[in-house]
Amino acid sequence: MNEKLDLIPLPVSVKTHDSVFRSPVLPVIEGGSVFQNEIDLFKEQLCLYTDQSGAGSRTENSKKITLVMDSSLAAEAYTLEIRPQGLILKAASPAGAYHGLQSLRELILSSGRDDGIVLPCAEIADYPRFPWRGFMLDCSRYFYSTEFIKKIIDALSLHHINVFHWHLTDDQGWRLPVQKYPLLTEIGSKRLEYRYRDMYSGGFYSREDIRDIAAYAASRHVEIVPEVDLPGHTSSVLAAYPGLGCTGGPYRVEDRFGICEDVLCAGNDGIFDLADAVFDTLAELFPSPWVHIGGDEVLFNRWDACPKCRKRLEETGLTHSRELQSWITVKLARMLSERGKTAIGWDEILEDSEQYRLPEETAVMSWRGRAGGLAASRLGHRVVMSPNTEGCYFDYRNYGHHEEIGRDLVSTAAQCYNMDPAGPEMTDSEASLILGGQANLWSEVIYAGKIAEYMIFPRICALAEALWTPRDSKNFEDFKVRLPVHQKRLERLGLLQYRGPLE
Ligand code: ACM
Ligand code: ZN
């Protein structure tokens, strides 16, 4: 059989041996109670292989998978020994055990169904290069179901992706229920589709949906970072509460794409009452220490022309209305910090922030290339790299051909693979502030889960390796050899995948 394990992302170290491990069914799994959740979930994920007769659990001499706590390992690290007589997985934490079990799940998914489980004997030692290995799904431009989101989170976790950045609000729809502001969802979650007659689309997640998704992600060691995009990309807010805009409206939940002129009025204190209620809701529903506050693509012409915004300029001692964005960002970041949360925003939050400096703990997500991230790290901010110029925008085509799905721009798997969040251009101190990287799937032209899958896979496999595997072990040619085996695993999970050129 194939000596290679064909794991994606490639582990830090793999030694294979000639012998094999064989078992007709998923073996009994033993481990301390600290790993019980991971064990139960692993069995659920591989239920195809469980012994329906229960014989495996009754046979005393049956082969075993043994999980062992080894506190000498780093938090997300694991080691996996595959021997003919059994498997031993060591980890210092449930997260490390989960990652090890996901590598094992990959091996089992590609080991053939008819002869049960056949694995090459090997010793794997593994840990991540970056702590933030993310993926963002835009659930505003298209409203994805709870079931679909869970399917994606599960597949992400197979690749050791550990952050699901949930883009919950935008011009085209507000998806988060906020009890004190019921119109956000009553009005802001639905948009009239102007290309059709009398057709509304949209929806929102109930508190139960959110709790359900949050628990599902947490069990897979995926952290959900919710995003509420402020103060731009807020047509859905303005449609619900027109008093929060500079002109008073009328506004509508947008069905057009692009950047809208109407944003929250910087001169209206009511926008902070709204943020208060929204942040309370997020703090209640999401355990993550991070809240993404958006901050991208704010146009300032409304603020220029608005008497309330001009008054705010005077009060704050600022000269240009565009500087009000950092004044707002600083206030939002403080409000979050009062709730024990840390703000992260798109790289625009750093612009014109000389007067109102962002708190150092505020992190920056660099999307317009990597310059914003580099500038942020020079000021001492932590950074997540998600450059649209280097393959991280999954709404762009997989390949530059007009028959391909996506916006008329290209993010190849190769670009994504070669994206290095902490590139050699950085000093050690800048690189030490790089949390990691992520891919973003904006959904303007991705109007179904199946299309989303085609845009995510296999580019996320390339990104997972860029964020997990040591820089010196990365090799795109080798990745391309492993990928066909891996794509069979993804097929078995029912994921639609792009199959064309990768570079
Ligand atoms: C963005 O792509 N507007 C963050
Ligand atoms: Zn205003």
Listing DSSP states for 371-418 in one string gives HHHHHHHHTT--EEE--GGGT-BTTEESSS-TTSSSEEEE--HHHHHH
Q: Is the pLDDT of residue 298 over 90?
A: yes
Q: Is 123 in the pocket of ligand 1 (CB under 6 A)?
A: no
**Other CB atoms closer than 10 Å to residue 34's CB: what's the count?**
13
> How far separated are the first and last CA of the chain, in Å rounded?
30
190 and 83 co-located in one domain:
no
Q: Which atom of ligand 1 is nearest to the CA of 393?
A: 2
Q: Is residue 174 part of a domain?
A: yes
- Binned at pLDDT 50, 70 and 90, residue 52 comes out as low
- Binned at pLDDT 50, 70 and 90, residue 50 comes out as low
Q: Which atom of ligand 1 is nearest to the CA of 365?
A: 4
Question: Which residue among 260, 367, 386, 441 has the greatest number of ligand 1 atoms within 8 angstroms of its CB, and so is best to mutate?
Answer: 367
Residue nearest to atom 1 of ligand 1 (CA): 296
Each residue's pLDDT tens digit, 107-139 = 999 986 667 899 999 999 999 999 999 999 999
CATH number for the domain including 80? 3.30.379.10
107 and 144 co-located in one domain:
no
Q: Is 70 in the pocket of ligand 1 (CB under 6 A)?
A: no
407 and 462 co-located in one domain:
yes
Q: Which ligand is nearest to the CA of 261?
A: 2
93 and 157 co-located in one domain:
no
Q: Is residue 499 part of a domain?
A: no
Question: Which residue among 442, 443, 444 has the greatest number of ligand 1 atoms within 8 angstroms of its CB, and so is best to mutate?
Answer: 442
Structure tokens that stand for 402 in this block: 């007009």
Residue ending a domain, among 126, 147, 163, is 126
Q: Is 346 in the pocket of ligand 1 (CB under 6 A)?
A: yes
Q: How far, CA to CA in Å, does 269 sit from each of 70, 245, 313? A: 53, 11, 13
112 and 216 co-located in one domain:
no
Q: What integer pLDDT is reported at residue 111 of this predicted model?
A: 86
Query: Which residues span the domain enclosing 47?
Result: 13-126
- Binned at pLDDT 50, 70 and 90, residue 59 comes out as very low
Residue nearest to atom 3 of ligand 1 (CA): 296
Q: Is the pLDDT of residue 495 over 50?
A: yes
261 and 400 co-located in one domain:
yes
Residue ending a domain, among 126, 153, 183, is 126
Task: Kindly give the distance from the C-alpha atom of residue 296 to the centroid of ligand 1, in angstroms, as a whole number.
Answer: 6
Q: Is 276 in the pocket of ligand 1 (CB under 6 A)?
A: no
Q: Is 297 in the pocket of ligand 1 (CB under 6 A)?
A: yes
Q: Which ligand is nearest to the CA of 386?
A: 1
Q: Which ligand is nearest to the CA of 170?
A: 1
Domain count along the chain: 2
137 and 46 co-located in one domain:
no
144 and 100 co-located in one domain:
no
Q: Is 209 in the pocket of ligand 1 (CB under 6 A)?
A: no
Q: Which atom of ligand 1 is nearest to the CA of 346?
A: 4
pTM of this structure: 0.97
Residue ending a domain, among 98, 126, 154, is 126
136 and 76 co-located in one domain:
no
Mean pLDDT to the nearest integer, 433-440: 98
158 and 181 co-located in one domain:
yes
Q: Is residue 273 part of a domain?
A: yes
Task: Kindly give the distance from the C-alpha atom of residue 306 to the centroid of ligand 2, in angstroms, as a whole number.
Answer: 5
Q: Is residue 498 part of a domain?
A: no
Asked if residues 413 and 391 have their Cβ atoms less than 8 Å apart, the reply is yes
* Nearest CA-CA partner of 475 in 492, 462, 494: 462
- Binned at pLDDT 50, 70 and 90, residue 403 comes out as very high
Task: Kindly give the distance from the C-alpha atom of residue 261 to the centroid of ligand 2, in angstroms, as a whole number.
Answer: 12
Query: What SS3 string covers 126-185?
Result: ECCCCCEEEEEEECCCCCCCHHHHHHHHHHHHHCCCCEEEEECEECCEECCCCCCCCHHH
Q: Identity (one letter) of the amino acid at 407?
A: R
- Give the ranges where 28-126 is alpha helix by DSSP (H): 36-45, 55-58, 94-109
